[in-house]
Chain A
Amino acid sequence: MSDTQSHYTSPSFAGPKTRQPGRTFADIPPVRWARANLFNSWLNTALTLLLAYFIVKYAIDIVSWGLINAVWEVPGNDTRACREIREIGACWALINEKFRFIMFATYPYEEHWRPALVIAIFLALYAISAMRRFWNRKLIVIWLLGLVSIGILMWGGVFGLRYVEQERWGGLPITLMLSTFGIAIAFPLSILLALGRRSDMPAIRVMCVTYIELIRGVPLISLLFMASVMFPLFLPEGLTVDKLLRAQVAIIMFAAAYLAEVVRGGLQAIPKGQYEAADAIGLSYWQKIGFIILPQALRLVIPPLVNTFIGLFKDTSLVLIIGIFDLLNAAKTSVNEPAWQGFGVEAYIFVSIIYFVFCFGMSKYSQDLEADLSRHRKR
């Protein structure tokens, strides 16, 4: 490092020896940092300048499109002001006008406080689950209470709340429900599948392997199509299951297969001695798994588990294809009205921010947790 620095110290900015009291330009910390990290070779200098040029150029374009030339408000549905600046400015008036539709879709307008409260409850549940001091039996009680109140708020029909049929639910609550229930139900299933895959019983092993590989080999869309067009054929005459629930079942089946592979990774990482020791002290199979193996195995796979959760959260957006009004579909539909046609980019940017906050939050959390747990192990 000192080598490169002396190489680039030009005579006009000679070292500290010549100008004793003051510090030279090259000694100012940011300058020294820039020299070490941005201009430490000719190649890097060229790269830095080229990249900086593009960043500045596009930043100017984006800022002028998204902020300076943007239209923030239009009277009613009169989007002429937006049309005029179509090529050079964003139409955030769309978000202003359609905010509630994107968030709650077709839920009755005067009852919007209910899905809003549902979102708040979901966020509170996530926040509590993220705190390690709640990682005990209390968490199950809190979740049960949370889910019951979510059900009451969405459906209504009790405590003087108006009944709202499932077909009218939509927006962010649907995305949160599909992903939360998907993960919460698929996770225990995935543990069973992973245990089955490592079982000594051939019939059970073959069934679990077939299920996992079959599901992992096909795209989620084919499962969702199956749920939307084939599932009704499976049921006896007269019995129908709501479309949202069918999509939820497809997501659970899909999630279970992927999570099972992650859990299997954890099970494989536990040394054989742990299994043998548990057998030796006379624990039954389920005692061995529940008290000895799973607590260690699941702890090992927290980071890949969270990554799978993020993937599943993103994948719930696929229900758009079978016509369920999740957050993404609400955004897509918000520009169907003739007055707002052509402003899809703005709607997608807005929901991108929501998706990003959730996914980035989860990934940051998993990184912190990983660091925390590995520090614990290192000690």
Chain B
Amino acid sequence: MASRPQVARRPPTAGVNLSLNNPTIRAILYQIVVVGAVGLVIWYLVSNTIENLETRRIATGFGFLDREAGLPIGESLIPYSPADTYARALFVGLLNTLRVALIGIVLATLLGTIVGIARLSSNWLVAQAARVYVEMLRNLPLLLQLLFWWTLFRDLFPGPRQALAPLPGVFLSNRGVQLPAILWQPGYGYVLGAFVVGVGAALAVRRWAKRRQALTGQQFPVLWTSLALIFGVPGITFLAIGAPFALERPELRGFNFAGGMTLTPEFAALLIGLVTYTAAFIAEIVRSGILAVNQGQWEAALALGLRRGQVLRLVVLPQALRVIVPPTTSQYLNLTKNSSLAVAIGYPDIVSVANTTLNQTGQAIEGIAIIMAVYLTISLSISAFMNWYNRHIALVER
């Protein structure tokens, strides 16, 4: 069927062969047949759907987005009330999805890296503990783990009055996790601005140092200068505005906590579940990435006279990252897609809100189209960014 168009098999004098024996003609024919068949099936399904929608008198189109939603949402990053529109409710859901996905990706990367390195530890106990962690978490369905954490919060953790306090100011109870919050002070805007300036200056220094090294061969301590710029500039600004700082600790008032930051049991269960599960996969990726770099690379780099830090930064990490980055990208994508399991434990993410919406309005096609569009957009953006990064660090073969 698909063999390459075979030209020049006959002498050119034979002219154009229009019989079925010509592979090119055959390929075109096959494609017409397959595309036609798929088109027919799609046309059949669509016409059925239109007919069904008419007989069931289901409205179509996205007009419902402007209507009042009347659905209460437990937690929201922006002001929201049931009197708001469906569009706003869905936006709240989208923000909730992004919130859990972003925090989850950062924490899973940290935990996964630690566990992955621990699996290679020379300390037997550490390596075994990491192995048991990875095997346990990888071999159980995520949904089961989420339900487990959520039930643990709801059924086994005590009420606020007897809340567990693993760290000072941190409370675990059946109302969720209470954390101390840093209060926003008037001068923090300047500190944020100084941070941006610091990062910009660090990037400029890096470019300048690279050019200078290329021209003169002289090295410049870029890392230390950058760290000083990135953390020093905002630090000095912070001190200059008088170091305003206030921590609000959660306190027990009556039957519940007041003040501080609250993670609801749903959010806490979802975050813990997603982070611990994805970290197990990232740990295996990190481990294989480190193992993939040959011991000879270390020895060769040391023989060239590089210091150990330089070997790690310039020789080993770039090679390990090349192995680590592509599968880690798909883990980030998985974490984002898995956050949709929130619907099972009642965290109001986009799937959960869209599901309620489609149940209330009956507009199933639009509801599912919204869910799919959101996830496709997120997936394609993450993979576009990671592909760019991957090309950036990929092996350049000369």
Contact = CB atoms under 8 A, between A and B. Distances in A.
Given A222-B372, A328-B141, A48 B123 contact: yes
Given A218-B337, A328-B147, A363-B139, A229 B123 contact: no
A159 B360 CA distance: 46
B21 interface: no
A356 to B, nearest CB: 5
Nearest to B143: A317
| Interface size class, chain A | 35 or more
Interface in A50-92: 51-52, 55, 87
Given A52-B125, A221-B351, A200 B55 contact: no
B290 to A, nearest CB: 18
Contacts of B142: 314
Interface string A155-180: 00000000000000000000000000
B152 A345 contact: yes
Interface string A197-230: 0011111100100000010111111100110011
Contacts of B148: 345, 348-349, 352
Interface in B1-43: 1-5, 27, 30-31, 34-35, 38
Nearest to B56: A233
A371 to B, nearest CB: 16
Contact of A355 (B31, B122, B124, B140): B140
B344 interface: yes
A348 B147 contact: yes
A302 interface: no
A368 interface: no
A332 interface: yes
A345 B155 contact: yes
| Interface size class, chain B | 35 or more
Contacts of A109: none
Contacts of A310: 139
Contact of B372 (A55, A218, A232, A315): A218
Interface string A311-322: 000110110110
Given A222-B368, A234-B49, A342-B155, A359 B139 contact: yes
Contact of B123 (A47, A230, A320, A360): A47
A204 B375 contact: no
Interface stretch (A37-45, A121-129, A134-142, A182-190): A37-45
Contact of B343 (A38, A52, A87, A221): A221
A348 B2 CA distance: 51
Dominant secondary structure of chain B at its interface with chain A: helix
B140 A314 contact: yes
Given A55-B129, A237-B52, A360-B135, A218 B375 contact: yes
A279 interface: yes
A350 B4 CA distance: 56
Interface in B247-298: none
Nearest to B127: A37
Interface string B147-168: 1100110011010000000000
A217 B333 CA distance: 8
B376 A315 contact: no
Contacts of A286: 1
A236 interface: yes
Contacts of B138: 359, 363
A146 interface: no
Given A37-B123, A219-B375, A321-B344, A328 B144 contact: yes
A285 B3 contact: yes
Interface string A28-46: 0000000001101000100
Interface in A216-263: 216-222, 225-226, 229-230, 232-237
B316 to A, nearest CB: 21
A15 interface: no
A225 B123 contact: no
B155 A344 contact: yes
Contact of A225 (B3, B34, B121, B368): B368
A230 to B, nearest CB: 5
A150 interface: no
B129 A352 contact: no
Given A218-B337, A218-B376, A222-B368, A51 B129 contact: yes
Contacts of B30: 201, 204
Contact of B125 (A51, A233, A328, A356): A51
Contacts of A332: 147
A226 B138 CA distance: 28
B125 A48 contact: yes
B2 A351 contact: no
A318 B144 contact: no
A359 B277 CA distance: 15
A364 B4 CA distance: 42
Given A47-B126, A222-B351, A318 B143 contact: yes
B139 A355 contact: yes
A233 B53 contact: yes
A282 B123 CA distance: 59
Contacts of B341: 221, 318, 321
Nearest to A206: B35
B73 to A, nearest CB: 19
Contacts of B158: 87
Nearest to B342: A221
B225 interface: no
A338 to B, nearest CB: 14
B155 to A, nearest CB: 5
Contact of A234 (B5, B45, B355): B45
A307 to B, nearest CB: 9
Nearest to A202: B31
Contact of B122 (A37, A201, A229): A37
Given A345-B148, A345-B152, A201 B31 contact: yes
B85 interface: no
B170 to A, nearest CB: 18
B27 A201 contact: yes
29 contacts: A37-B123, A37-B124, A38-B125, A40-B123, A47-B126, A48-B125, A87-B156, A207-B35, A217-B372, A218-B371, A221-B343, A221-B351, A226-B368, A233-B364, A234-B45, A235-B48, A237-B51, A286-B1, A321-B341, A328-B147, A345-B152, A345-B155, A348-B144, A348-B147, A351-B144, A355-B144, A359-B138, A360-B139, A363-B139
Interface of A: 37-38, 40, 44, 47-48, 51-52, 55, 87, 195, 199-204, 207, 214, 216-222, 225-226, 229-230, 232-237, 279, 285-286, 310, 314-315, 317-318, 320-321, 328, 332, 342-345, 348-349, 351-352, 355-356, 359-360, 363
Given A348-B144, A355-B139, A359-B138, 7 more contacts: A55-B125, A218-B375, A221-B343, A233-B49, A314-B141, A351-B144, A356-B139
